[in-house]
Structure 1
Amino acid sequence: MAGTNPRVTVITLGGTISMSGSTGLVAPTLSAADLVAAIPGLDGTDIDVHVRDLMRIPGGSLTFTDILTVHDAIREELEQGSTGTVVVQGTDTIEESAYLLQLLHDAAGPIVVTGAMRNPTQPSPDGPANLLAAIRVAADERSRGRGCLVVLNDQVHAARHVAKTHTIATNAFASGASGPLGWVVEGEVRYGHPPVPRATKPRRPLRPTSPATVGMITATLGDDGSWISDFAQRFDGLVVAGFGAGHVPMTWADHLEKACAQQPVVLASRITTGPSLTNTYGFTGSESDLISRGLIPSGDLGPYKARVLLWALLADSTSPAGIRAAFTEHNHA
């Protein structure tokens, strides 16, 4: 609305940014109002900030159902006039929760996910700066139509590409070969890339009465895979985090082919940067061998995001052919 200040709603879920304690150990206790009150320089902006507390839990305890609840809250805030929303959570699961929000979100108003690597009891906590940058990004007109973004360390990342790459550093988040979409410099949001087409999302709001379950198995040296068949029976779908460009021990191949007869199995790479291949290597357990046995290539989606996409598709009752087509579409979006 021309002539009015942008309105941003800050939704808090907990995490390091909201932690406090007096015994040397910390837990999530701070409210959204507490976090916003601790931001230096916010009063000097023209942004109207509203707060909404949803949860106060560590990032590693969030569930798919929690993120559906968050998206409901985001939709409500945007419908009630917010320019954009900021989701504050623990960094442990940001790359997964942000990607699920990206899949669910079809409104123009941006979602910006942020958190902190240093809790407020430590010297130079990064939470206030991250939250201020996230609020600026959510309020910026150029963020519209970009879906879900992740903002930390004054960098703006696409939810599809961002990953946590360090356990404690304040510059822990990176977007691999893609790099960040933009930066916050002297309070100004600067984008280096235009908005890109959005990939397929579930066709209707997800309300699974029996939530889908997706397991993930990681290829490791010397593992014969004899346990895979029993493990696979526990899940509706599987993601394989293979070696290199998408390889597994040759002893795994028959077990994974058997699993493909029962459920969708997606092949990704355990390497953090770079795509899995489809047609380069030809040995047993190679990417081409596994695809010929029925595995679905994840392309440049790493195993964690591939698991999120597979879960969303299964929860949306997508057919096997539709699942395969969705992964193809996501790798060309």
Structure 2
Amino acid sequence: MVLSKVVVLSLGGTISSIPSSGPGVVPRLTGKDLVESVPQVAEVAEVEAESLRQMPSSDLTLEDLTEVALEVKERIDGGASGVVITQGTDSIEETAFAMDLLVQGDAPVVVTGAMRNPTLPGADGPANLLASVRVAASRAARGLGALVVMNDEIHAARFVKKTHTQSPSTFQSPSTGPIGWVSEGDVRVALRLPARHVLGMPPDGAGHSVALLKLALGEDGRLLPAVRQAGYAGLVVEAFGGGHVPSGMVGALEQLASEMPVVLASRTGSGDVLRRTYGFAGSEMDLLSRGLIWGGMLDGLKARLLLTFLLRHGKDREEIRAAFEKWYI
């Protein structure tokens, strides 16, 4: 039997963290170390491992993710059936969504990590890595885009989010649930997404950045002028509920939306932003009529990534608006 070729790219994180000379654990294990610690992967695929970064995932940047996406593309073009990225769980949902936007083709790109480092009883890194290699090598996972595999569950990048600071079952997809799972070594895909929306790699040197503002009770909008002054090219607003802001912010948001793309998302983290239900000042109908862009089902983190990469591709306001509309399909 000829095994599929799977490449494991390590970025650091809890899955690779062990004690150092100071307090706590820090990322030290390489991609090769991780693969060698799980000998069962050799029965699943021909695995090649490389360390691209050695850092906590809170230190990753969009430039790092673009470089990782380029490496993933090169490995797939070079014959890999799939790629597994290991990293810290803090930003897994953002890495997965970035890979979904940037990497074209049907080969699975799986992002995984661990909630318990290798020094703890019940460390989940080895099981997550093995399950991820199984998914990356599986024909069932082809065409699904980027995935997060944790706790034997398979989550689509566009839906998944981290929901708990410590639990091994932290990764959930509130709007849909997992699209599949791993059972007795078999990859089961129960749901397939209707469409993928891939942007591809942005041009070299594209450096637009987007701010993310989460609203709280009593917000008055005084931070909004700072978004422009700090040099951001766009803004995502995580508004209340279905897409609502305090009425006192409306004027400042309208002014900012006339100067840059401002996307309206919800701080709830699941469900669509409304479009035609409420009509009060600061409601979704009011804000959309003033030029804000409907964020659809994407939460603030994912809307920020999509807006950033659209800007880096040189898309104008109407193209950006159309791109967000697609994510409803």
- Is TM > 0.5 for Structure 1 vs Structure 2? yes
Aligned-partner Cα distance in 1 for 2:204–2:214: 27
- Structure 2 counterpart of 1:28: 27
Aligned-partner Cα distance in 1 for 2:131–2:100: 19
Q: Is the 8 A contact 2:41 2:47 kept in 1?
A: no
Q: Is the 8 A contact 1:31 1:53 kept in 2?
A: yes
Mapped pair 1:215 → 2:211: yes
Please give the residue correspondences for 1:121-270 in structure 2 after superposition, counting only pairs within 5 Å.
121-199=119-197, 201-202=198-199, 205-234=201-230, 235-270=232-267
Deviations 1:77-109 (A, max 9, x none): 112211100000111111111101101121111
- Give the deviation of 1:208 after TM superposition: 4.1
Mapped pair 1:38 → 2:31: no
Q: Is the 8 A contact 1:165 1:173 kept in 2?
A: yes
Q: Which runs of 5+ in 2 are unaligned?
A: none
Deviations 1:209-242 (A, max 9, x none): 2411100111111121123123333210000000
| Secondary structure of 1:55 counterpart | strand
TM-score (normalised: structure 1): 0.95
| Secondary structure of 1:13 counterpart | strand
- Structure 2 counterpart of 1:108: 106
| Secondary structure of 1:101 counterpart | helix
Letter in 2 for 1:227: L
- Structure 2 counterpart of 1:280: 277
- Give the deviation of 1:46 after TM superposition: 3.8
- Give the deviation of 1:205 after TM superposition: 2.4
Say what the alpha-carbon RMSD is for the aligned residues.
1.3
| Secondary structure of 1:98 counterpart | helix
How many residues end up aligned between the 2 structures? 327
- Give the deviation of 1:308 after TM superposition: 0.3
Letter in 2 for 1:279: R
State which of 292, 299, 302 in structure 2 corresponds to 1:302.
299
Deviations 1:180-228 (A, max 9, x none): 01000111111111353112x32x5213424111001111111211231
Aligned-partner Cα distance in 1 for 2:202–2:217: 38
Aligned-partner Cα distance in 2 for 1:220–1:307: 19
| Secondary structure of 1:178 counterpart | coil
Q: Is the 8 A contact 1:47 1:139 kept in 2?
A: yes
Letter in 1 for 2:169: N
- Give the deviation of 1:250 after TM superposition: 0.8
Aligned-partner Cα distance in 2 for 1:116–1:227: 36
Aligned-partner Cα distance in 2 for 1:46–1:184: 13
Q: Is the 8 A contact 2:236 2:265 kept in 1?
A: yes
Deviations 1:224-267 (A, max 9, x none): 11231233332100000001111111111111000011100000
| Secondary structure of 2:119 counterpart | coil
Q: Which runs of 5+ in 1 are unaligned?
A: none
- Give the deviation of 1:38 after TM superposition: 1.4
- Give the deviation of 1:40 after TM superposition: 5.2
TM-score (normalised: structure 2): 0.96
Letter in 1 for 2:219: D
Distance 1:272 1:101, change over 3 A: same
- Give the deviation of 1:156 after TM superposition: 0.2
Aligned-partner Cα distance in 2 for 1:158–1:24: 36
Moved more, 147-156 or 67-76: 67-76
| Secondary structure of 1:67 counterpart | helix
Aligned-partner Cα distance in 1 for 2:185–2:206: 45
Aligned-partner Cα distance in 1 for 2:316–2:221: 28
- Structure 1 counterpart of 2:65: 67
Identity level (%): 44
Aligned-partner Cα distance in 2 for 1:276–1:124: 39
